[in-house]
Amino acid sequence: MRKLWCVSLLPFLVLPGYIAAADWPMFRYNAGHTGFVEEPSGKVWSYPTSKEIVSSPAVKEGLVFFGGYDKRVYALDAKTGEKKWDFVTGDKVKSSPAVSADLVFIGSMDKKIYALNVQTGEKVWDYLTGKKIESSPVTGEISFLAAPPASQEDKIDPQKNTVKVVLIGSTDGKLYCLKAETGEKIWEFKANNEIFSSPALQDNIVYLATGGGRIYAIAGATGKVLWENRKLSGNFLESSPAVTSGLVFIGSTGSRMYALKKENGEKIWEFVTEGGYVCSSPAVVNGKVYFGASDAKVYCLSASSGEKVWEHKTEKLVYASSPAVVKGVLYIGATDNRLYALDADTGLKLWQFTCGKPVNCAPAVVDDVVYFGSEDGLFYALNTKAGIKY
């Protein structure tokens, strides 16, 4: 059966609480993938590329990064849209970048994950996987205090128990844990099927959804399975998990959103959409879960009970775009060629902006500007107050 195409650019974690942000460093904002930040939203322009954009942007230190179907990774000035550099890969780039320190990490359909210099775009390293990469990387630190297995002893400095890593899945069905500085493999995990979604990292545990319909919790230090849930409806998962407040939230192609216990994967609740599969990755904000679905709706649920708070009807389905929530406003794209700004409390539409083709990436919001790409080949920066493009 052909997979549904949802780039879990994908696909994010900011725990409940308010964090001032001048950056949006990776897909879904952070390693936990909650898609929420309290203080962002400034400037505005559009930049033309030659082909579709489904890669979700990252914003760091005045630069915005994204990939395109033209095989390139771009770095633009976040205020002016001026191109600082681009890097050419061997195939389309659906993966979304993650930025950590002076490196940009991104996957490509050429089977490689790249680490590029933030300022110059020069390649620092690359790592070849077995098949194309559509998953988006997550960066963070993993502690190896619990004595790594013998096979890792030559890879981890025993004097340095915490290592900066980059985690990414591939359609070869493997999750890779690499040293962020060098690209050296620490471990790999073989899942039951292809991996399209982005892993989440919290408290030394990696949470991974697969094209085979399973979700795993994996020990960050060893790559060993702590638990797995095989009972989710739908034959595969492209939504990326969000982890917060002891729960893991994940959407499925079985028209459902789930909340699972973080410690064992046990189902707490499930919400059934009106026939729409959920490739959109959830944002979790102040006790609410937000996501889009193929029934052409954006949903808001209670995080504790799964009860519906509100829904908003779009003109066409919400496919791969995932919501960002900033200062009480939810931003999400749809296949009706629009980016929507909705009141996060009520679901009422504040404004919409129409592009030339579908918006299937997750927007990033920094300093009063919302950044996103469209399948019309344009990358946009809009004023968050009214969706105005300058």
pLDDT tens profile 5-33 = 443 333 333 333 333 356 777 665 677 66
| Assigned domain for 370 exists | yes
Domains in the chain, number:
1
**Cross-strand bridge partners of residue 271:** 257
pLDDT at 37 over 80: no
| Assigned domain for 257 exists | yes
Q: How do beta strands 324-326 and 36-37 pair?
A: parallel
Say how far apart CA 337 and CA 315 lie, in whole Å: 9
| Assigned domain for 315 exists | yes
| Assigned domain for 61 exists | yes
Question: Which tens digits make up the pLDDT trace of 65-81?
Answer: 999 999 999 999 999 99
Q: What is the SS3 assignment for 356?
A: coil
| Assigned domain for 265 exists | yes
Mean pLDDT (the chain, rounded): 88
| Assigned domain for 7 exists | no
User: What pLDDT band is residue 50 in, cutting at 50, 70 and 90?
Assistant: very high
53 Cβ neighbours under 8 A, 6+ residues apart? 66, 67, 68, 69, 361, 373, 374, 375, 377, 378, 379
| Assigned domain for 246 exists | yes
| Assigned domain for 160 exists | yes
Q: Tell which residue, 318, 287, 316, 317, has the closest CA to residue 300.
A: 287
**Which range of residues forms the domain containing residue 346?**
36-389
CATH of the domain at 297: 2.130.10.10
Q: Please compute the mean of the pLDDT values over residues 264-289 and round it to a whole number.
A: 95
